[in-house]
Structures are given as C-alpha cells and as structure tokens.
Amino acid sequence: MGNCSNHHLGIPPAKGPHAVGCTDFMMDHTSKGSFFRLYYPCHEAEKAEKPDWIPCREYFNGLADFMKINRSLSERIFNYLFGSFKIPAHLDAPFKSNEKCPVVIFSHGLGAFRTLYSAICAELASQGFVVASVEHRDQSASATFFFHEKSESQTANQDLPKTSDSVQNSLESEWMYYRALQHGESEFPLRNKQVKQRADECILALDRLTEINSGIAVQNVLQTQFDWTTLENSMDLCRTAVIGHSFGGATVIESLCKEVKFKCGVALDAWMAPLDDETFPRVKQPIFFINSEKFQWAGNISRMKKLESAVIQRKMITIRGTVHQSFPDFTFLTGDWIGKLMKLKGEIDPELALDLCNKATLAFLQRHLGLEKNFNQWDPLIDGQDDNLIQGTNVTVIQSSI
C-alpha cells in the first residue's frame, strides 16, 4: 500500500521531551456525541503500533467528494500517495506524566477530520499537553461517522457482517460526508450555523475531559485498548486553550466567546467569514493569529483586526513562504512538484514553517496559561522577530475612518 518512493516523506516526529501516545474517543454513539482523537504524553513502548494517518477508505471518499473528484479514481490516487503514512504517535500507549497536563482542544478546517493535524497535535503532546483533536459533525468534515442502534431483526440475524470489531454488536456505523453549498445557496447562514455547532463540540470535548479527570467512569463507544482511568486527576483544567486552522480558526473565536474556561486561543490562518460581527466584542481572552503569506486577503484581515484591544493581548504574525495548507500534515506527504501543484506546499521548507508555528504557539500558551516551562525562550517569535516571520500581516488593509 502507498508509494514506495515516498520513504523520505512523512510526518516529522515530535521534538519535545515526552513520547507521544494517541487514542480515539467517542462518547454517546449518536451524531450529537463527542468524538475526538486524544494525543498525550506516554510511556515509551517497545512494540507500540503507529496508527494509519487515514483511518479507513471512507475518509478517502470524503476527501474526493470535498475536492469534487471521482471516488473510485481518487481512492486509488490517494491510497498511492498517502495510504502508507503513519501518525508519529503510539496507539493506545499507557499515559505517563509526572505533572498535571494543560489541555488543548483542536478544531480542524473545512473538509478535514481529526487525524490531519497530527504534526501539530503530537508536538504539543510531546511538550506535556493533553490534546483533543475534535472530529466535527456539522457536515464540514470531509467524512465522519457515528452509530445507530440496529433493528431487532438485524441483531437477531448475526450472519450480518460486523461494521467494526471494536464496537458493540448492537450498533451499526453511519457515515456523514461533507455538505457542499447548494446552487444559489447563500454561504453565511450555513457557515454561521456550523461554527456555532463546532464551538459546542469543542466545549463538549472539554466537558468530557473534565469528567474523565474527575474520575467519572466514561463509556467509550470505540472499545480501544487505552485505559481512561489513568487520566484521572492528570489534567490541569485551569489551563485550557483552543487552537484551530481555517474554519477551525473561526471556531477558536466562537469557542472563546461561548466558554470562559478557555483561557486563550491560537487561530492558524483563520477564515473569519462564518462569525457574527457581535461575537467580536464579547471575546475577552488573548488570541494569537498565525497566518500564511499566500491565503489572507484584506476583508479577512480587517475582521481579525476587529479583535484588536488595548487591554487584552491580541497578536498576529505571518510566516513567509507559506500557503494555507502549510498547517495540516499534507504539506509533509507530497514531493515538491505535486505539493506545489496541489498548493499543499509553499516556498519555505515545511518543517521550518511548522517549527516556527509550534514554537510561537508554545510561547504564547506559556504566557497566557501561566506555565512554568522554557517555552518563553521563543517569546520573540510572538512579535514576528525572525527572518521567516512578518510582524502582523503582509496584506494591506485600508482602515475606514468610522
């Protein structure tokens, strides 16, 4: 499976002092439940399995639909390009931390899903964070799934193929794919409704982690090998942040507005269109906008600037030579010409770009979560002090005099 010549490509391993584990969590099997991938510091395991980057073929189908290409053709192409890649984390490895971990909730972009930002999430976990990468059920993910109860006749007929050997036999999986805009449909009402649901899903993930931390027994519908009781009293829920890319960047703003337990937010190349104007003055927490050089435009930046404040820290930097897809894992998984053709790669080395993004994020999180780490060594990056960074934006915004 996958492309043999891709041996030099892959998601870079995390750089922090901790080994990284990951597991999947779904509580409440319906579409209203919480579904996320958890990244966490773990015990180094000898033979720990690394999970597939794309969990199963339905996600390839979802990406095809999102990109408006033929499913059967694209499945072969995607499988050839990406089928063999693994996430740089140990599946279901035992949790290990000598101190309480601050918590990050991560929100993916339009047409993405929970596994596509593993380089960022694994890096945060390697630096001592517990990270829940939410898979959104607002029809903005290219694909996701939930379960419904089988009918009595289906349950009685056990000759039916099981949907998954890790799920109770009484449940059957149902896939939800990306919903494209209908012809003539106005975009804002749909996206605004979605961003509100996405924020609710981020808050629900935090609520689930709060229950797990307090020792409440949780029922993971996906019967993984991970022992959730080991997370009891392991998280510092006074130190929580929300991070997201693109539509996930808008989700960061909406989540901060709705939930004061999030102490700060980092918005990666945020797409601001889904947000109501009245949301901006209601956000009271610090925000860090980390933008790519090629994606942003004046109207979008001017909406970010509505969040500028004399009393709350609001920062913005732009990484030179980056494109919108410099933040998800795709940027590491294609050769130069395909990467640039598909706009998955910018002019800058992708590892350097993400390294700057991660270090600036860690410095910002230390500052606003009150962490006692050494991330403040990267404080200058918050102000764009690096040859590969621009302080603020490269986009010219004409300020109105109103």
Structure token pair of residue 72: 């059967």
Residues 6+ apart with CB under 8 A from 282: 257
Other CB atoms within 10 A of residue 306 CB? 15
Whether the Cβ atoms of residue 29 and residue 147 lie closer than 8 Å to each other: yes
Active site residue 324: yes
Please give the Cα distance from 124 to 278 (Å, whole number). Answer: 32
Q: Give how far Cα 298 sits from Cα of 132, 174, 224, Å.
A: 32, 41, 46
Other CB atoms within 10 A of residue 97 CB? 18
Q: Of the listed 84, 118, 246, 292, which one is catalytic?
A: 246
3-class secondary-structure state, position 236: strand
Please give the Cα distance from 154 to 177 (Å, whole number). Answer: 24
DSSP designation for 354 = H
Please give the Cα distance from 81 to 335 (Å, whole number). Answer: 10
Sheet of 19-27, strand order? 90-91, 19-27, 34-42, 130-134, 101-107, 235-245, 262-268, 287-292, 314-319, 389-391
Other CB atoms within 10 A of residue 223 CB? 12
Angle made by CA atoms 102, 108, 113, in degrees to the nearest 5: 115
Please give the Cα distance from 201 to 91 (Å, whole number). Answer: 24
Q: Of the listed 18, 29, 324, 368, which one is catalytic?
A: 324
Please give the Cα distance from 65 to 328 (Å, whole number). Answer: 19
Active site residue 269: yes
DSSP designation for 228 = G
Active site residue 133: no
Structure token pair of residue 106: 């991560």
DSSP designation for 151 = P
Q: Which of 153, 148, 143 is nearest to 178 (CA)?
A: 143
Please give the positions annotated as active site: 246, 269, 324
